[in-house]
Structure 1
């Protein structure tokens, strides 16, 4: 999974669980560290749209685009904190991943791109997988009827 996807997924999962009053301190604290790193290093990147609507794939994609443009894909410390947040959420708030429609665990791939997930529950679940090339998943609509224009 590319670093920015991990960072955005962590932020969205953290927003689902870490902003709730009942969230455990491990999730709240790690979420706060991730949020502060982004604010301090990438002042022009606004994470609030994802915080307000963490289930929106459009908001997550926009944030990923902004973080990539700002150079966050090469930020090892930011990636490490994002991975810690994902682990904390997985351990203490496992439903948060389902809320954003993506549940990934122990994935190895050259790159992972996920687009347009609209899920009521988990839309994508992959565990213990190794892929020799890129993974591109798009237009998943799980647990809800397809939208008609």
Structure 2
């Protein structure tokens, strides 16, 4: 089943709006809760986990729906949700690279380090060193798996 350009762009746009929008909404809501000692960093870290959880539940649900509706064989059958979810989820991988960096930056800041422009590259290098495999995973999903599947 082929998607039209309009359908593809709408799936991508929906993903571009949902994941950063959910992050922003959950961060604002968490900051307004009367939790003692919660600051910006706590709200950011929990919000990224909320978005990741929502994406994981949606991806798992899509997988279950696809597998259950395939009558002959999962690899041979086609389901419209396969392409639709790939298009929808691609923005998540780009968002999550940024969200992981944001969490890393706040964790660095919470440890008592002053964050200024002079140490920004040190934080980036440390982030790349600690999260390299996850960054590669997300980049491959975005740059290789997405074009191949579409």
TM-score of the pair, normalised by structure 2: 0.29
Higher relative contact order at CA 8 Å, sep ≥6: structure 1 or structure 2? Answer: 2
Which is richer in helix? 2
User: More strand by proportion, 1 or 2?
Assistant: 1
TM-score, normalised via structure 1 length:
0.29
Greater Cα radius of gyration, structure 1 or 2:
2
